[in-house]
Amino acid sequence: MVFEYQTGRLNQADEFAATGAKLSVNPSTQKNELVILDKSGAVNPAYVYISPDGVNFDVDTDLDKILNLYYADFRKDPKYRDTVYKNLKIKKGANPTDVGNALNKRIVDFGVDAATQLKSNPSLTTFTPLNKWAGGAGSSATTVDRSLSTKTQASQELDDFFVQQLGRKATLEEKKDFYNRLRKEESTSGVTTTTGETTRTSVGRGLTSIDRQRIMGDVLRPAADLMTGDELLKSGGLLGTYISKLQATARNYGLAYSPDMAKKNVLNNYQSGGTLTTGSLDAEELAIKTMAKTMYPNLGKLIDSGVKVSSLADQYAYYMGQTLELPDNSIDITKDNYIQQALKNNGQEGSMNLNDFQLSLRKDARWAKTKNAREEASGYVNSILSSFGLVR
């Protein structure tokens, strides 16, 4: 909501107070900030527009609206614009993004100064306009340099992040959540600079790219939690890629590892900054290797030497397919009892030899129905008959 100044109704101090805006000390920085309480009692940063003549003003919690009022003045009066640019050290001909960033950084302090003017002089009739504002007066001046994001910037940033991670754009509700979280942190961070006649001291910092990714990750996490492992795999995002990578690692070690199990471990190691770091991914892969050595203690030395359990299992699967005449790729090496028995080898060092493995397969009822079994049986019969001279 924009609170518009109405000439002649109240004096400046009363009119400003009617907007609900007030100065509040930020407990983390101990600096004054201009805020407005909404109906729910939540504290929202407030921003001030002051007309070029210093008479009219607007106050709003939406920075974009306040910026647009200044942009309109710039279009109407290029000289006013040039003076503001000079005061704020904006290069002539700067692109809109640079102009917006420069204004973002100073509008917060400008609003605090305007409210401070009224607090010290309730009978004030004219504010100091932006083109005459120097960020403070006297032998020293203190400014807080903040980079404040617009809704458009935040929306695009979150869309890019969600597409990268989940393969889809963010919803309106997720964008609103991100913008509120982002602006809350932006409003309480920044570089506080105190400039004296011969000194300049700066403390604090603004939000970094890591901070922004952390906030985006916090918004994304609930959405990822609601998706199944299969849905994440099919999403085309990085989370699905991580799940696929861990599943491939588990298969290499002969372990059953469902998409949901992989999802759980991915999200447990998921950094709020939006990435499963190389270190975290390596750690999870090492955990899978350790799990394999627990499952197959007899193969521990082979595993440590770099042998893939899946390579052993695939050999057994090949001979099993040949022996029982099974379709290609119909054997799940992580679940088939014969292959698991061969890998575990009754706890003896190494895996079962192929001869013993094939003998165990011939005890399976499916063996008797194979062409190989029939031919072998026929061969036995012919051999017996031949020994009695009944066939040649």
Summarised one tens digit per residue, pLDDT across range 11-27 is: 555 666 666 666 665 55
The per-residue pLDDT for 206 is 67
Give the contacts of 339 (CB within 8 A, at least 6 positions apart). 313, 316, 317, 320, 331, 333
**Tens digits of per-residue pLDDT, 307-318?**
999 999 999 999
Mutual orientation of helices 209-226 and 151-166 as an angle, nearest 10°? 60
Low-confidence ranges of the chain (pLDDT < 50): 1-10, 136-143, 193-204, 381-382, 385, 391
Alpha carbon distance 65, 301 (integer Å) = 67
Question: How far, in Å, are 6, 58, 71, 149, 184 from residue 3 at the CA level?
Answer: 9, 6, 18, 22, 21
Q: Are 56 and 31 in contact (CB under 8 A)?
A: no
CB 137 within 8 Å of CB 144: no
In the chain, where the domains are located? 3-136, 151-219, 227-295, 309-367
pLDDT recorded at residue 187? 73
Q: What local confidence, expressed as pLDDT, does residue 174 receive?
A: 96
pTM over 0.85? The answer is no
Angstrom distances, CA of residue 177 to CA of 173, 174, 190, 215: 6, 5, 21, 10
pLDDT score, position 60: 84
